[in-house]
Amino acid sequence: MEFKKVAVIGAGLMGSGIAQTVAQAGIEVINIDISEEQTNKAKDNVIKNLNKLNAKGKMTTEQTESILQKLRYSNSYEDIKRADLIIEAVPEKMELKKKVFAELDALADNNAIIVSNTSGLSISEMASVTNRADKIMGVHFFYPAPIMKLVELIRGIGTSDETFDSVKEFSVKINKIPVEAPELPGFLVNRILVPMMNEGAFCVMEGAKPEDVDKAMKFGANLPMGPLELADFVGLDVMLATMEGLYEGFSDSKYRPCPLIKTLVKAGHLGRKSGKGFYNYN
């Protein structure tokens, strides 16, 4: 199935980045958010990102203009009509996602495929509020979406092979590298990566310095960023929520969130976005 028109629901950092990615691949896309302020902000961010690429000589003015012509914004879910593929990218809360999926299912064309950009929530549970479980699956993009090459593809219990194959083909068309991940908490990347960051936090709680933990993993394991640098970049609140999801989903003590992470989050020390986490960015 060829996707000629794509709708992205949610114009936050992930949603706007996904919309930009689709437009850069030459596909018509509409980025929808109920907040006009958010869609205006998303549009400004995309223009700024493209201008940076232009200034660095990585993109011509003509290419920038072509991308912007493929990308539109809206504040109404009604504009998902005639979209072949709908990508949900709202905040990572199951009840919110189920509400959005039910609304999208009622409005979307019968043949439209709806996917969730979730980092670990159940695809099957989202599909349960729709009448098209065979056309529902997960596509986990990584931040920042226009740059990160990987996407995790996740089948729900009812996802058809036709749906999976079509979405996999689409992910390659938008210049991503797809991997199939099981429908289990954390999928593949977060299930491996986030516990490493959590273990780094335990090392600090037990007396190690954050910079020593990061140096050890950068120069001992050849990682581009240390686990605590990465935790600050991702956001300690996001990391904690992921660990709690793993702990709850597997009921395994190896996923127990580090108490230090909980303390930092309670204090409002969320990493780069708040100015302070394991490191001080002020």
190 a catalytic residue: yes
Please, are residues 85 and 8 in contact by the beta-carbon 8 Å criterion? Answer: no
Please, are residues 117 and 153 in contact by the beta-carbon 8 Å criterion? Answer: no
Identity of residue 195: P
User: Residues 88, 92, 152, 183: which is the catalytic one?
Assistant: 152
Q: What are phi and psi of 175, to 5 degrees?
A: 70, 40
d(CA 282, CA 269): 12
User: Residues 16, 92, 140, 198: which is the catalytic one?
Assistant: 140
User: Residues 16, 116, 171, 190: which is the catalytic one?
Assistant: 190
User: Residues 119, 122, 166, 274: which is the catalytic one?
Assistant: 119
Please, are residues 15 and 31 in contact by the beta-carbon 8 Å criterion? Answer: yes
Residues designated as active site = 119, 140, 152, 190
